[in-house]
Chains A and B, each alone.
Chain A
Amino acid sequence: MTSAHAKLGHVSEDGIKLLVDGFYAKVRRDPELAPIFLRAIPGDWGPHLNKMYAFWSSVMLTTGRYKGNPVIKHMAIPNIQPALFARWLELFNETSAELFDEAVSAEFQAKAARIAESLQLALFYRPDRPWPPLAAT
């Protein structure tokens, strides 16, 4: 149920869990993202989901629960490209808008967009090329 009155109006650990679970359920069904994620996480998704609860808890509730180096983790993914980040954000925005009211989902989306931009700069930026990178056609 995603009727307007049922949407969450504040950030909580429970809300974050719902968001992460809902988002990765979409990712695993997505033709673009599923192959990337299923290759990176071939077995049990439990540890990854736990890590993502902790990550979003750290970012949205400043709990310091997540500790890691996401730049290095993303660098290790073969064939990673900007279009995948765009698709990731689409699904994330969709999931957050389904779960949270407008103000809260906007907070999540703003954080996600900044982090995605930062990761992409770390992965793809070259001083001698234009930024943002031109979309591959």
Chain B
Amino acid sequence: MAAAGRDMTFVVTDNCIRCKYMDCVEVCPVDCFYEGDNMLVINPDECIDCGVCEPECPAEAIFPDTQPGLEDWVRLNGQYAAVWPNITIKRESPADAKAFDGVANKLEQYFSANPGQGD
């Protein structure tokens, strides 16, 4: 991990879990999204902080790491980006994505550390 804690980066947060719409992966210029079983993360070492993904996320789950209170998410993104497969092509989102959009505290209830299928 280069520059741990000081990469200027965007991070994927709670509301991605079980929504996983994947619109972000199509617009990212640097292909820095990695796919877990039920959420995506951003590799902080590859993200160039262009901000293109933030408004693309239908679940509004992507934030700049300069926003306070996201330290745990920054860590989680870095940790799983290192082990999950890269994803650059959007697929169908989960059939029940809409039902989970906006549900609180998804990390504790639903987060899966398993890798997704990737491209």
Contacts and interface: CB of A to CB of B under 8 A. Distances in A.
A114 B29 contact: no
Interface in B1-19: 2-9
B30 A59 contact: no
B59 to A, nearest CB: 17
A22 B59 CA distance: 38
B45 A62 contact: no
Nearest to B10: A118
Interface of B is mostly: loop
Interface of A is mostly: helix
A131 B6 contact: yes
* Residue picked from B28, B52, B56, most chain A C-beta under 10 Å: B52
A119 B48 contact: yes
Contact of A58 (B9, B29, B46, B47): B29
Instruction: Give the interface residue-count category, chain B.
Output: 20 to 34
Contacts of A125: 2-3, 6-7
B9 A70 contact: no
A72 B61 CA distance: 27
* Residue picked from B6, B29, B47, B56, most chain A C-beta under 10 Å: B29
B71 interface: no
